[in-house]
Structure 1
């Protein structure tokens, strides 16, 4: 069942990868990039050259931001076409970030490989986030940091028509057929029926994380403007230390 769901997820994001990448390039060259840098910097240790794994990197937005700050960053994503988009952006910008096709729930890295693991808008799409958290814990070094930015997107109805979406909603330009496809996929996922981020905290504790901080006010700092990057679903962040 999970493998079939992952095939559906990969197929969906393959269809969206090029347009998604174009939006992320615009975001990299907008004030949003600085807002995200500030948000992440609030949590990172003041150490140069951190080894960072950006899971669910998509077209590499976080990976490029952090590589520009001197960190050693690898971005992984389940969808090959997303990684192709990230690599193309990297070639054009001269970025040193590395990218690999990889399943967030089955990482191909040795134990304690990274100082930081982070993700953005990923865990709501995973068939088994609990397994993912255990894997992320495994590849973190002792004292390493997990930063997860996500929202309760599983509670949203992506099948709404354009006329029902707020102006400048991030999904406004996505075809109706793709929004319906996204809705079908997320309705299959257990995480869509959970109370988050309380459920995430429980799973992170089971994975072995001891120190956690929740922040429910991320959107107030990131989405200051209602523009093409805006999404009204409130973002939360979870910071956890191994």
Structure 2
């Protein structure tokens, strides 16, 4: 329940911030969050450069930057990167990693739906697994359009984490059967049952509570004024690399999930 309806000042957005602040300590332990192989790193480079090209010193704002994984990939490709997150524990880890690797990435505390950044300021905006959490994506997309330079691009990497495909259901049944027969053991989660329940509660109340389908996200980008909106569902190289560091069944599920990249541009 949102704070506005129960008399509390602690609303859904505060819950989201608190949740990711708690997740910061274990965030980099999960395949799919951190990068566990050079194979995956190279696959990310190919995805980013396919849509954005080489950095060549262009300015990039990485929203919901977390512990800095995408920010550092963008830095490697040659972008002048600013990472922004509203969970201070995430930023602390990102700053520590950047300092240890002598990277010149600025990590700032900020809200992806209201960045407070200047108009027409960035060449590129990136984000990974942010859109599904947005309370008001229409406002967020309008904000991103505002801070992009004319001709600038946004690259969104996200997925539908609600609807389960036929193949995922089949994989889940096979995993359950193999555990019952003693051929496999349940994989320990990276966070507690309580945190899992908080995650489900948040997911049920955000804008994309029915699942952030690529086509729905693309439609909202167009309505916000973005042009040349393209959906790229070819995430196979990244997912195969991630799957090698997951258990058998979870790795198989990753490959068949509805995950995607969307690029859109601001008119010149």
How far apart are residue 205 of structure 1 and its match?
A: 1.2
The separation in 2 between residues aligned to 1:99 and 1:33, in whole angstroms, is 21
| TM-score calculated relative to the size of structure 2 | 0.79
Deviations 1:43-101 (A, max 9, x none): 11345101001011110001111112322000101211111110111111111111011
RMSD of aligned residue pairs (Cα, Å)? 2.7
Match of 2:127 among 100, 119, 126: 119
| TM-score calculated relative to the size of structure 1 | 0.87
How far apart are residue 195 of structure 1 and its match?
A: 6.1
Counterpart for residue 52 of structure 1: 60
More divergent stretch after superposition (114-123 vs 203-212): 203-212
Whether 1:4 aligns to 2:20 is: no
Match of 1:217 among 231, 234, 242: 234
Match of 1:35 among 43, 46, 55: 43
The separation in 2 between residues aligned to 1:202 and 1:171, in whole angstroms, is 38
Match of 1:199 among 209, 216, 230: 216
The separation in 2 between residues aligned to 1:102 and 1:94, in whole angstroms, is 23
Counterpart for residue 77 of structure 2: 69
**Alignment CA distance shift 1:177-1:47 (3 Å):** closer
**Alignment CA distance shift 1:211-1:170 (3 Å):** farther
2:231–2:262 CA contact under 8 A, matched in 1:
yes
Runs (4+) of structure 1 exceeding 4 A deviation are 22-26, 166-171
Task: State the aligned residue count.
Answer: 235
**Alignment CA distance shift 1:154-1:79 (3 Å):** farther
More divergent stretch after superposition (208-217 vs 172-181): 172-181
1:168–1:228 CA contact under 8 A, matched in 2:
no
**Alignment CA distance shift 1:131-1:144 (3 Å):** same
Structure 2 gaps, min length 5: 4-9, 165-171
Whether 1:85 aligns to 2:93 is: yes
Whether 1:186 aligns to 2:210 is: no
How far apart are residue 169 of structure 1 and its match?
A: 11
2:59–2:80 CA contact under 8 A, matched in 1:
yes
Give the secondary-structure state (helix, strand or coil) at the position aligned to 1:115: strand
